[in-house]
Structure 1
Amino acid sequence: MTADLKQLSIWDDPPAAPDAGALRSSFEHRVLRGLVAEWENALWLLPDSLQRAVRKPFFAIRNLPGRLGCWSPEKREITLSREMVDSGRWDDIKEVLLHEMAHQVAHEGLRATSEKDHGEHFRQACRLLRANPSASGTYLPLHTRLQQGESLDNRDRIVVKIHKLMALAESSNPNEAHAAMRKAHELISRHNVELIGRGADQDYHSVFLGAPRRRHFRETYHLADLLQEFYFVQGMWIQAWVLEKACMGRVLEISGTLKNVQIAEYIHAAVCRYIENAWADYRRGKALTRYRQTDFSIGIIEGFKTTLQQARTAAAGSRGAQLPVRIEDHALARYVDQRYPHVRAISGRVRRHDPRVLADGTEQGKKMIIAKGITRSDGFKERVLEYKHES
């Protein structure tokens, strides 16, 4: 054996675990690389003249009490709050980054050197970058606000009714539970149709569903289609930094009103948990691959979609309902078009599926009951999902 090779025996001390400082440094290094990648990605939204005028800045993560981030013209540095980076999701981090990048563009590209921090040139830069002009100071990111729950006005009777119906969907009687869930979906649809039909002024928001990944399985696209078809949100697969892999990947971002984003995020999480529980039960004692898990998951989503389609058809055909089978929210479409002006279609190779596993998943999906999608005080903190295995 040559002298430069060393074998560890069972008597040797195990390798020292990395200390907290090393782990912190590694984590922040990956975040900083992500900030650079997201900055470069956003630069393409600017006109050519501004792209040439704006140079890549330095990036830093520091303790910033009471602030989410800042742009320093003197240092040419974008700094993000360590507290926000530690506790935030990547869409929250990206939102603050774009806000600070807008300050940089206003200063270096639009030459607004003597303007107030949030003046007209800054707002122009925000429009170009699709940045949130409010994402600074004590601003709470959308996901934090959703977690804390939206305080609903008691006068919003339609939402209160939906809450009560979602509570009824906890019933141990399957027929009663399904009827309550279908009625709740009908009221959600009726509420949105009425707002869209009269052209009500609405604010739209965007949030990531799940974490950015290099690869997404086919069931994630089916679930995205379900949310877009039934829950009055619009989905877009966008590029985003995958922190664990230290590279760019993709993530589903949904856009809609605050209430609809809240409902859609709840449904997304509930369906994913249902699939996880149902698959663990279904695969027990079977030699099934990851591809069969995709078949089963798609079946569950399609089975649940059947329930929603039946609710929609029944509502549209009921006496005096005057509820269309589908309605287009043109204002939401304009919001998404403005947010993402350059869109291209993506496609992938569809693998062969197991029709038996797909059919079993579809039957299981028809039994799914989702309850408590909205409450008056605690948003979607209480997530109730009924999963029953029937032998």
Structure 2
Amino acid sequence: MGAGYRQQSLWDEPPAEDDFMVKEDVANLQAAFERRVLQGLAAEWENALWLLPDPLRRCLRKPLFSINGTARRLGSWTPYKREIALSRDLVNNGRWDDVREVLLHEMAHQVAHEGLKAKKEPDHGPSFKKACQLLRADPAASGTHRPLHERLRRGEKLDAKDRIVARIQKLMALAESANPNEAHAAMSKAHELISRHNVDLIDRGVKQHYVSIFLGTPRLRHFREGYHLAHLLQDFYFVQCMWVEAWALEKGRMGRVLEISGSDKNVRIAEYVHTAVRRYIDTAWADYRRGKGLNRYRKTDFAVGVIEGFRSTLKKASGFDAESSLLPARLEDPALQRYIAHRYPHVRTFSRQGPGHDARILADGNEKGRKLVIAKGISHEDGFREKVLEYKQ
């Protein structure tokens, strides 16, 4: 027999027809998903185009978009094809703001090449850097560069002497404590550390690295609790919140998503708090609504109550309700404000009248939210052995 040929035995089972159908279904779903991604890349490109000055914007034409199988590069711009290609691994496994970050990087190459006529410059030369600044793009977001969320999860190496930052980052947990007094004491300590550290950095003018990430996924519609939670993060966690346009992949249209900006450490903390509060609301609501036949709008009432109840606890922990507080006064960060002004050159405010709410459910949620505390664990190595606290998950 020739090499590579295998005679089928009578004992071999022929491939099942169902197997072919499953593979075909998977292939069709993947193709549909990638078509939706390509539509999103085109929409995000058109949206980013308005960040450019008018003469530069008019000389650019929409490129081709593609998804390739290479895992070595997140994206590429090919001038002779006029094509922006993104890695299939990135679009399959990355978050949409990571995908958009790479798209803007490759768009900056296009702007440098076609708009600024930088054909004889290095790939990452002066024109490319100028294009990145105009597009608010990360100059490093390509090649083997790790997406922002992965970099944030890995964290940065901390100076062993920076004990305040080390304590803040060791453990932050949102939970219902078995001992409310201990839980509130721990939360007060956490906010004292966070507040003092940030105020000290701002007061001394220490240069910080600012980042922006999406919280959640872009959607056409957001419920009222999302806005309440955004205000809470901005008021207590040293981040700035903006609702920005982004491609809602499931709906195939541009929607909106909450984006937070701040130092990488504060963004990590705020992202964790956002996720934990959302999870707490879902769990508490599942218990509360059992057997009551309540609809989605009543969940919004309950969730807003939880968030505002939690806010009242944070106010006490931060000394907002006290006539004299040991915490330093909250300072605006001028460097963060400059970052925000550059990143969001066109900002508009809006308000909407929400539907009526159920006062009883709102009050029940508020009571539940007051039991939710943010706790700062302190390890033995910090020299506070007597203050080590444990919390139920």
Deviates more, 1:283-292 or 1:145-154: 145-154
Tell me the residue number matched to 1:106. 112
8 Å contact kept, 2:174–2:374: no
Task: Quote the Cα distance in structure 2 between the aligned partners of 1:111 and 1:71.
Answer: 15
Partner AA of 1:109 in structure 2: G
Q: Which residue of 2 aligns with 1:242?
A: 248
Residue number in structure 2 paired with 1:4: none
Q: Deviations over 1:175-230 (max 9, x none)?
A: 10121012101210111011111211111000000000010000000000000010
| TM-score when normalising by structure 1 | 0.87
Quote the residue 2:4 is aligned against: none
> How far is the alpha carbon of 1:322 from its aligned partner?
5.7
Asked if the contact 2:56/2:115 (under 8 Å) is kept, the reply is yes
TM-score, normalized by length of structure 2? 0.87
Further displaced range: 169-178 or 220-229: 169-178
1:143 is paired with a residue whose SS is helix
Kindly provide the amino acid, as one letter, of the partner of residue 345 in structure 1. T
Q: Which amino acid aligns with 1:212?
A: P
Shift of 1:154: 2.1
* Mapped pair 1:95 → 2:74: no
1:264 aligns with 2:286: no
- The answer to whether structure 1 residue 198 and structure 2 residue 208 are counterparts is no
Cα distance in structure 1, aligned partners of 2:35 and 2:213 = 25
Q: Structure 1 316/258 Cα, relative in aligned 2: closer, same or farther at 3 Å?
A: farther
Select 1:136's aligned residue among 137, 142, 146: 142
66-75 vs 166-175, which moves further: 166-175
Structure 1 residues 350-389: aligned runs within 5 Å: 350-371=354-375
Separation in 2, partners of 1:162, 1:129? 34
In structure 2, the CA distance between the partners of 1:207 and 1:163, relative to structure 1 (3 Å rule), is: closer
- 1:241–1:249 Cα contact (<8 Å) kept: yes
CA contact (8 A) 2:101 2:138 kept: yes
State how far apart, in whole Å, the 2-side matches of 1:118 and 1:163 are.
35
Query: What is the aligned-residue RMSD (CA, Å)?
Result: 2.3
SS of structure 2 residue aligned to 1:19: helix
**Contact 2:187/2:376 (CA < 8 Å) preserved in 1?**
no
> Residues of 1 paired with 2:249 and 2:353: CA distance?
27
Is 2:181 the partner of 1:175? yes
Letter in 1 for 2:104: L
| Structure 1 SS opposite 2:346 | coil
Alignment counterpart, residue 71 of structure 1, candidates 74, 77, 82: 77
Contact 1:254 1:261 in 2 (8 A): yes
Within 5 A, what are the aligned runs for 1:289-328? 289-313=295-319, 321=326, 323-324=328-329, 326-328=330-332
Structure 2 segments unaligned to the other structure (5+ residues): 1-17, 380-389
1:156-191 CA-to-partner distances (Å, cap 9, x unmatched) read: 200233356747988632210121012101210111
Matches within 5 A, 1:13-162: 19-162=25-168
Q: Secondary structure at the match of 2:319?
A: helix
Q: Secondary structure at the match of 1:96?
A: helix
Asked if the contact 1:232/1:256 (under 8 Å) is kept, the reply is: yes
Contact kept in structure 2, 1:212 and 1:241, CA below 8 Å? yes
Alpha-carbon deviation of 1:293?
A: 0.6
- 1:311 deviation in Å? 1.3
Paired residues of 1:34 and 1:243 also in contact (CA < 8 A): yes
Alignment of 1:207 with 2:213, yes or no, is yes
Q: How many residues align?
A: 363
Letter of the aligned partner of 2:114 in structure 1? E
In the alignment, the residues of structure 2 paired with residue 39 and residue 371 of structure 1 have an alpha-carbon distance, to the nearest angstrom, of 42
Q: Match of 1:279, as an amino acid?
A: W
| 97-106 or 17-26, which deviates more | 17-26
Q: Which runs of 5+ in 1 are unaligned?
A: 1-12, 376-383
- Say if 1:255 and 1:374 are closer, same or farther in 2 by CA, change over 3 A: farther
Matches of 1:284 and 1:296, distance apart in 2: 13
1:152 to partner: Cα distance: 2.9
- Which one is further off, 176-185 or 299-308? 176-185
Once the two structures are superposed, what CA deviation does each residue of 1:130-177 show, in whole Å capped at 9, x if it has no partner?
A: 111010112111111223344433222002333567479886322101
